[in-house]
Amino acid sequence: AQKVTQAQTEISVVEKEDVTLDCVYETRDTTYYLFWYKQPPSGELVFLIRRNSFDEQNEISGRYSWNFQKSTSSFNFTITASQVVDSAVYFCALPKETSGSRLTFGEGTQLTVNP
Partner 1 sequence: EPEVTQTPSHQVTQMGQEVILRCVPISNHLYFYWYRQILGQKVEFLVSFYNNEISEKSEIFDDQFSVERPDGSNFTLKIRSTKLEDSAMYFCASGGGFDNEQFFGPGTRLTVL
Binding site for partner 1 (CB under 8 A): 33, 35, 37, 42-47, 50, 91, 93, 95-96, 99-108
From the CB of 16, what's the least distance to partner 1, in Å? Answer: 29
Q: Which is nearer to partner 1, 30 or 115 (CB)?
A: 30
Nearest to 79 by CA among 95, 97, 60: 60
28-31 contacts at long range (C-beta below 8 A, 24 or more positions apart): 28/2, 28/97, 28/98, 29/2, 29/53, 29/97, 29/98
- Cα separation of 105 and 95, whole Å? 9
- Cα separation of 23 and 5, whole Å? 6
Q: Which is nearer to partner 1, 66 or 95 (CB)?
A: 95
From the CB of 77, what's the least distance to partner 1, in Å? Answer: 15
From the CB of 15, what's the least distance to partner 1, in Å? Answer: 25
Q: Which is nearer to partner 1, 17 or 22 (CB)?
A: 22
Q: Which is nearer to partner 1, 58 or 100 (CB)?
A: 100
